[in-house]
């Protein structure tokens, strides 16, 4: 197992290519830009194509075309660019294409955007939130596998720290889990055979006039329900006897984990629930972990977004308090003081000493 | 001859006398002829040409069409070609991704004027500038047909539409965009032409334009573009029989037909209009 | 009686016709005219008289794929009279 020192952006690109990704299109925007740079550098030598698209709209469109032909393809951006892509993301989900999106956010304020989707209609996308670069490598490869398995987009939610931190990682080609053959793809060979295909987001079928939207949307919803049932992932630490359960994701969870271990060494009964999938949110695991807790403290770098999912998961079973905040650097890229372990410690200690009582 | 009443001949079956079939009802790449486009619509006429050329070039089993959104979208269920449905204006980027993954496959887009020139102006210009080896086909009827006949960026001055009922006015609505003039000069564009389907001669010329465009793609010469003016009597508020004349007289006077770029030849629509006018006078 | 030569002929799928009348002016010898009757869709449809040349213009302009075009091996003479 060879380890290399790689920045998150480069590690994710290499992991994607090792997983068979052969197409990427993107538009530069901090802190996503280096992901695009990495793909631009590495894809051609791997026999793939990387295009600097004229805007995020076209980047996701180009990935759409590549996906339709059966290739493993990806795009990405930061929150603002993802905002531009929403119509396409919604439609790509309904066209049942396995897009992987590298969402390098400016902090954690894109949680709603990633998990609810800013596009129209009932649709769901799996969202994976790595906490460090090695996990980002594993989740990148998992993303391509899940996308193909479910024929559905999968997001990787990262941030400035993840994309720009260099760590020693090992990148192996994925284990070759058996995936369904892409017999739905369009390769251009079926014209004139009577069996030509139309990859489309509204359920059009060749030789059939009209569409059946209700039936089509319900079928997709059944698929999303199945995804929700089986794809939630979570990491739990020290929750068994915890008085306070901290919920945190991504890079910030890494600081939370450090602080929680420190507090545990001091005898404090505090634990961590770290959603690895932001969608499907690991509601069951959270509810179980919070079963004996005095309160659940949600640490997130925004005005309070994941806290909604925490409340929905618990439905009043334990008091929920928000201990996060908006926090950023002078450029607004999300490298804020909240990542300081002392800052996190103050927030968690505040939750420990609160007189919140379970009712 | 006016004293003689010519008898109506039976036409409900092939002829009894020995005869050679010159033209079938439908192209080989059309599953069925039954469609719900309006009487007198020019789009099926244009799409017929597209399907015929794909098949005649031997590309039926190595071609992918990327379709925009308009009246023609529903028609695609009858097209026996591998297709990808794109969003309004976004076919060129989808075509780009498909072509990069399948460089030996003939990739074309099929888009209306509202789709390509309104919503998707950026996409087609950048695709041409990059010299993507795809063929973008524009079926231009000067209106948003599917929503009921509204002004697009190709609607000509004076043209009445549902949201320019007094006729398009330059001061209030601005001027039309002649997309061919934006695409032809770009370095990545190998072939650009504008045709029409208002009469049989125009149809034949347009078919040749499509063939040359696809040849440019197959020979790897870069981006190719064919605009086809089509009738929309519903959107134009004219009887179907007057559609071709309206097309030629109103749209064709501004969006003049001819080749804009072919190898070294590069002309503007204004020059085609002059050619047209001097042709009339001469 | 006079003789009118048809070098070609057409088959017309009149049931599919939507009465747009584009074929009428498109026909160079002018041998198509709209019927008085209506088809099941409620439209008049084209009818053929002698003189067809098999040029295929009608097929080219028809939006509803209503025409099939033939060329006779030997031109057919129609004897027509008043």
Q: Quick one: closest CA in B to C32, which residue? A: B8
Tokens of B14: 């092939």
Mean pLDDT (chain C, rounded): 96
Could you say which of C9, C21, C71 has the minimum Cβ distance to residue B9?
A: C9
Distance (Å, rounded) from C-alpha A97 to C-alpha A75? 13
Could you say which of B3, B19, B204 has the minimum Cβ distance to residue C73?
A: B19
Write the pLDDT tens digit of every residue in B215-268.
Answer: 999 999 999 999 999 999 999 999 999 999 999 999 999 999 999 999 889 999
**Structural domain for C38, as ranges:** 2-80
Contact list, B13 vs chain C (CB under 8 Å): 11
Contact list, A68 vs chain B (CB under 8 Å): 64, 84, 94, 97-98
Contact B102 A87 (CB under 8 A): no
Confidence of residue B276 (pLDDT cuts 50, 70, 90): confident
Q: Which of A340, A341, A346 is nearest to A323 (CA)?
A: A346
**Domain tally for chain C?**
1
CA distances from A286 to A290, A356, B13 (A): 6, 19, 74
CA distances from A16 to A39, A49, A173, C64 (A): 9, 13, 9, 49
pTM over 0.90: yes
Residues forming beta bridges with residue A103, ordered by sequence position: A77, A157
Distance (Å, rounded) from C-alpha A138 to C-alpha A170? 10
Q: What end-to-end distance do the CA atoms of chain C give, in Å? A: 7
- Which pLDDT does position A359 carry in this prediction? 46
Write the pLDDT tens digit of every residue in A104-121.
Answer: 999 999 999 999 999 999
Strand order in the sheet with C2-12: B19-23, C67-80, C2-12
Write the pLDDT tens digit of every residue in A1-11.
Answer: 789 999 999 99
Check whether residue A118 and residue A29 sit in a common domain: yes
Write the pLDDT tens digit of every residue in A163-192.
Answer: 999 999 999 888 776 777 899 999 999 999
| Mean pLDDT of the region A281-295 | 96
Q: Do B128 and B183 form a contact (C-beta atoms < 8 A)?
A: yes
Residue with tokens 């939370």: A256
Check whether residue A111 and residue A36 sit in a common domain: yes
Where residue A192 falls (left for φ over 0; alpha for ψ -120 to 50; beta otherwise) is left
Which value, in Å, is the radius of gyration of the alpha carbons in chain A?
21
Angle between helices A8-18 and A33-42 (to 10 degrees): 40
Return the CATH fold of B43-144+151-281.
Rossmann fold (3.40.50)
Write the pLDDT tens digit of every residue in B192-218.
Answer: 999 999 999 999 999 999 999 999 999
Burial C50-62 (b: 16+ CB within 10 A, else e): bbbbbbbbbbbbb
Contact B94 A62 (CB under 8 A): yes
Size of interface A-B (CB pairs under 8 A): 169
Q: Which of B154, B183, B179, B166 is nearest to B250 (CA)?
A: B154
- Percent share of chain A, pLDDT over 90: 94
- Which pLDDT does position A2 carry in this prediction? 86
> Is C73 exposed, middle or buried (CB count within 10 Å of its CB: 0-12, 13-18, 19+)?
exposed
- Which pLDDT does position B3 carry in this prediction? 62
Check contact A-C (3+ Cβ pairs < 8 Å): no
Contact list, B33 vs chain C (CB under 8 Å): 13, 16, 64-66
Write the pLDDT tens digit of every residue in B6-24.
Answer: 999 999 999 999 999 999 9
Contact list, B131 vs chain A (CB under 8 Å): none
The DSSP code for B161 is B
In a domain? residue A176: no
- Which pLDDT does position A173 carry in this prediction? 84
| Mean pLDDT of the region B80-104 | 98
Write the pLDDT tens digit of every residue in A91-103.
Answer: 999 999 999 999 9
Q: Which of A330, A265, A301, A24 is nearest to A162 (CA)?
A: A301
Confidence of residue B280 (pLDDT cuts 50, 70, 90): low
Give the domain CATH number at C70: 3.30.70.20
Contact list, A206 vs chain B (CB under 8 Å): 31, 77-80
Q: Do A87 and A119 form a contact (C-beta atoms < 8 A)?
A: yes
Residue B28 touches chain C, beta carbons under 8 Å? no
Q: Quick one: closest CA in B to C9, which residue? A: B15
For A21, other C-beta atoms within 10 Å of its C-beta total 25
Write the pLDDT tens digit of every residue in A78-89.
Answer: 999 999 999 999
Confidence of residue C82 (pLDDT cuts 50, 70, 90): low
Confidence of residue B179 (pLDDT cuts 50, 70, 90): very high
Give the domain CATH number at A68: 3.40.50.970
Residue with tokens 């069996």: A195
Write the pLDDT tens digit of every residue in A131-145.
Answer: 999 999 999 999 999
Write the pLDDT tens digit of every residue in B121-133.
Answer: 999 999 999 999 9
CB contacts under 8 A, B 213-242 vs C, are: 231, 233, 240-241
Contact list, A216 vs chain B (CB under 8 Å): none
- Which pLDDT does position A354 carry in this prediction? 74
**Domain tally for chain A?**
2
Helix (H) or strand (E) holding C75: strand C67-80
Domain residue spans of chain B: 43-144+151-281
- Percent share of chain A, pLDDT over 70: 98
Check whether residue A104 and residue A246 sit in a common domain: no
Confidence of residue B190 (pLDDT cuts 50, 70, 90): very high
Q: What is the ipTM of this complex?
A: 0.95
Distance (Å, rounded) from C-alpha C64 to C-alpha B40? 9
Distance (Å, rounded) from C-alpha A278 to C-alpha A86? 18
Check whether residue A14 and residue A150 sit in a common domain: yes
For A183, other C-beta atoms within 10 Å of its C-beta total 7
**Structural domain for A110, as ranges:** 4-169
């Amino acid at each position: 197992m060879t380890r290399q020192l790689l920045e998150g952006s480069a590690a994710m690109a290499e992991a994607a290519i090792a997983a068979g990704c052969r197409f990427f299109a993107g538009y530069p925007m901090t802190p996503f830009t280096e992901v695009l740079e990495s793909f631009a550098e590495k894809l051609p030598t791997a026999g793939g194509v990387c295009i600097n698209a004229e805007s995020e709209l076209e980047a996701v469109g180009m990935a759409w075309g590549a996906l339709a032909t059966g290739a493993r393809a990806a795009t990405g951006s930061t929150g603002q660019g993802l905002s531009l892509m929403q119509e396409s993301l919604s439609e790509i989900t309904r066209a049942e294409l396995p897009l992987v999106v590298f969402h390098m956010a400016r902090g954690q304020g894109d949680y709603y955007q990633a998990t609810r989707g800013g596009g129209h209609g009932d649709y769901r996308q799996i969202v994976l939130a790595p906490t460090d670069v090695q996990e980002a490598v594993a989740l990148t490869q998992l993303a391509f596998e899940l996308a193909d398995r479910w024929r559905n987009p999968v997001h990787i939610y990262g941030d400035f720290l993840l994309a720009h931190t260099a760590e020693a990682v090992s990148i192996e080609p994925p284990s070759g889990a058996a995936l369904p053959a892409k017999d739905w793809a369009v390769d251009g060979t079926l014209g004139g055979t009577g069996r030509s295909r139309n990859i489309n987001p509204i359920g059009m079928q060749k030789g059939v006039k009209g569409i059946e939207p209700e039936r089509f949307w319900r079928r997709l919803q059944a698929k999303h329900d199945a995804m929700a049932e089986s794809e939630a992932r979570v990491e739990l630490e020290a929750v068994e006897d915890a008085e306070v359960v901290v919920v945190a994701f991504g890079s910030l969870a890494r600081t939370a984990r450090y602080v929680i271990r420190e507090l545990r060494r001091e005898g404090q009964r505090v634990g961590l629930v770290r959603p690895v999938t932001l969608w499907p949110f690991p509601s069951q695991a959270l509810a179980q972990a919070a079963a004996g807790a005095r309160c659940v403290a949600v640490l997130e770098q925004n005005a309070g977004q994941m806290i909604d999912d925490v409340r929905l998961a618990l439905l009043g079973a334990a008091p929920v308090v928000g201990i996060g905040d908006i926090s950023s650097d002078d450029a607004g890229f999300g490298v804020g003081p909240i990542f300081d372990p002392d800052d996190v410690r103050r927030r968690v200690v505040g939750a420990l000493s609160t007189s919140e009582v379970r009712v | 001859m006016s004293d003689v009443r010519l008898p109506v001949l039976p036409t409900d079956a092939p002829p009894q006398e020995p005869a050679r079939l010159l033209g079938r009802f439908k192209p080989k790449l059309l599953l069925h002829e039954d469609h719900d486009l309006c009487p007198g619509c020019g789009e099926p006429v244009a799409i017929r040409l597209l399907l015929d050329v794909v098949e005649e070039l031997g590309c039926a089993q190595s071609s992918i069409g990327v379709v925009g959104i308009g009246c023609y979208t529903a028609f695609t269920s009858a097209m026996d070609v591998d297709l990808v449905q794109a969003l309004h204006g976004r076919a060129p980027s989808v075509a780009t991704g498909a072509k990069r993954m399948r460089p030996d496959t003939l990739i074309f887009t099929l888009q209306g004027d509202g789709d390509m020139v309104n919503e998707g102006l950026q996409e087609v210009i950048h695709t041409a500038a990059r010299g993507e080896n795809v063929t973008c086909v524009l079926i231009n009827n000067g209106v948003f047909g599917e929503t009921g006949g509204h002004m697009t960026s190709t609607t000509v001055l004076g043209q009445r539409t549902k949201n320019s009922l007094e006729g398009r006015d330059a001061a209030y609505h601005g001027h039309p965009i002649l997309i061919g003039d934006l695409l032809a000069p770009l370095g990545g564009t190998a072939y650009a032409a504008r045709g029409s389907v208002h009469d049989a001669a125009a149809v034949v010329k347009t078919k040749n334009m499509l063939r040359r465009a696809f040849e440019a793609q197959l020979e790897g010469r870069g981006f190719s573009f064919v605009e086809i003016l089509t009738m929309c009597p519903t959107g134009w508020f004219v009887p179907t029989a007057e559609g071709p004349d309206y097309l030629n007289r109103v749209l064709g006077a501004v969006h003049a037909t001819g080749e804009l770029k072919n190898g070294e030849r590069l002309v503007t629509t204004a020059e085609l209009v002059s050619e047209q006018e001097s042709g009339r006078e001469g | 009686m006079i003789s009118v030569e048809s070098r070609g002929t057409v088959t017309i799928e009149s049931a599919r016709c939507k009465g747009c009348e584009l074929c009428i002016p498109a026909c160079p010898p002018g041998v198509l005219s709209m019927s008085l009757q209506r088809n099941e869709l409620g439209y008049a449809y084209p009818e053929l008289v002698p003189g067809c040349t098999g040029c295929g213009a009608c097929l080219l302009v028809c939006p509803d794929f209503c025409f099939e075009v033939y060329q006779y091996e030997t031109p057919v003479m129609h004897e027509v009279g008043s």
